[in-house]
Amino acid sequence: MFTTATRSALLALALALLPGTGVPQQPPPPLQPLLDQLVAEAWQRNYGVAQQELAATRARAAIREADGRRLPSLALNARYSEYNGVLDVGEFINPAYQALNQLLGAPQFPTNVRATLPFRQETRLEAALPLYDATLQAGRDAARASAALADAGRDATRRRLAHDIQQAWLGYATAAQLVALLEATRPVLDEQLRVSQRLLDAGALTPDALLRARADRSAVEQQLAEAAGRRDAARRAVNLLRQAPPDAPVPLADPAAFPALDTPGTDALVAHALAHRDELAQADGGVALARAQQRLAGAGTRPSLAVAGSYGIQGEQYRWDPARNVGLVSLVLSWPVLNGAQDGARRQQAQALHAEAALRRREAEAAIRVEVLDAVDAVAVARVALRTAEDRAEAASRAFTLVQRRFAEGLAPPVEFLSARAEHTAAGLNVVVARFALASRQVALERAAALRPLPN
């Protein structure tokens, strides 16, 4: 078989190929604070959240606008006109006054009256106060429903962003860990290829073993290139979500340190989701908005009552004379009687819109219930898969130990020895992937059940 020196060289080579061998193991940094920091950065910087926040601000301003329509209004209106060919009342009054003066024998009446219609200038303050208008209250209700809808949309964006950035980070951390393992494996595979060539030249190894060594190195090169691509893409995704430069560094931690969710039973998770999911709040806002639009459509047939007043001056010249100033106070009633059945059509549209919103709410509730159940099952399956992967890794480790002993005694060929080593390495990588899968499913459950608290 092989000499003791040959077996020792292969044994040392295979041990170096094991995952984590020869690499100092540092305790992973706390993972949950790191994820919370990334989520907080994304909430603060992400453009999508900023847009939703502006939409909520705009909706709250619309409420203040609707409230303002119910308050008194005051306006200054002024007009000055230059005209030609208009009616001058003085042309009719002046001859009559002149005749009266002649009869009286004294200039008792002016004979130079100039009064055009309209007056050359008119300046006045105008005030109005709605006393009753059903459309104003319905409009305020619609504005409040729109604001609730905007707030729910902002919170839904935040929750979705928290999910997306955690998933992107987990993908980045896992790919980075795979890259590190494969990069640590590559130089040892080069040494494996060199030793295999030397043993073949010495007649201590068959050509198929050398070809197997080359295939192993090519497979690792392919895996390394794919893992590096996934790592870089995931890092850019994390930076995009937190609005950082694409190549900005992203802190790392071991995905294996992802804390397990301490969740209650499935029924409690479903109940929590139905009470806190922002999609349902959006649906409720849509129902409230449709109900307000129903009231707005019905308000078109009701009367409105307002009080209005004005005070100012008018005439040919700007002249303040309290005895000749003009004041006006009005009580205005408006009641539409017939408008071509438009109000009925609007009410019908509003009723259909309300029914649609109610159905969307029921649909969203059913979808969220199924989403939570699927997420719970996915976490359970991922936990089983991780236990299976860990069992596989343990079995591969024990199998490698047995093959290692047989090889040391000259009872196992190098091909069997290197195959056991490759299976051990693959099992270790599979554990990394399984841990990522479990962490990813937990993040999905966190979003589905609305477990992450949102900022006010």
How many other CB atoms sit within 10 Å of the CB of residue 226?
Answer: 14
Dihedral angle at the C-alpha atoms of 380, 386, 392, 396, nearest 10 degrees? -170
Mean pLDDT per block of 10 residues along the chain (456 residues) reads: 44 43 47 86 92 93 92 91 74 81 81 75 91 89 91 92 92 87 77 73 74 81 90 93 91 69 78 91 89 83 90 81 82 81 79 89 93 92 91 89 75 73 81 86 90 85
Quick one: three-class SS letters along 363-401? HHHHHHHHHHHHHHHHHHHHHHHHHHHHHHHHHHHHHHH
Given this model, what pLDDT does residue 22 score?
38
The residue segments making up the domain with residue 152 are: 4-76+131-306+349-448
Is 374 found in the same domain as 248?
Answer: yes
In a domain, 327, yes or no: no
Is 270 found in the same domain as 235?
Answer: yes
pTM of the model: 0.74
Is 102 found in the same domain as 29?
Answer: no
> CA 306: distance to chain centroid?
44
In a domain, 338, yes or no: no
At which of 117, 139, 174 does a domain end?
117
Residue 111 neighbours by CB under 8 Å, 6+ apart: 94, 97, 98, 101
Is 266 found in the same domain as 370?
Answer: yes
Is 182 found in the same domain as 96?
Answer: no
Give the tokens for residue 253.
């931690």
In a domain, 340, yes or no: no
In a domain, 355, yes or no: yes
Rounded to whole angstroms, how far apart are CA atoms 154 and 419?
54
Rounded to whole angstroms, how far apart are CA atoms 208 and 343?
88
Is 214 found in the same domain as 110?
Answer: no
Is 353 found in the same domain as 249?
Answer: yes
Is 113 found in the same domain as 44?
Answer: no
Given this model, what pLDDT does residue 84 score?
74
In a domain, 383, yes or no: yes
CATH of the domain at 204: 1.20.1600.10
Is 271 found in the same domain as 159?
Answer: yes
Is 404 found in the same domain as 292?
Answer: yes
Are 240 and 416 in contact by the 8 Å Cβ rule? The answer is: no
In a domain, 333, yes or no: no
Nearest to 342 by CA among 350, 332, 334, 353: 350
In a domain, 339, yes or no: no
Is 99 found in the same domain as 62?
Answer: no
Given this model, what pLDDT does residue 412 score?
72
Tell me the CA distances in angstroms from 311 to 117, 317, 326, 365, one per residue in order. 19, 17, 6, 58
Strands (DSSP E) contained in 277-427 are: 304-315, 326-334
In a domain, 378, yes or no: yes
Is 369 found in the same domain as 279?
Answer: yes
Query: How many domains does the chain contain in total?
Result: 2
Rounded to whole angstroms, how far apart are CA atoms 6 and 209?
14
Given this model, what pLDDT does residue 263 score?
62
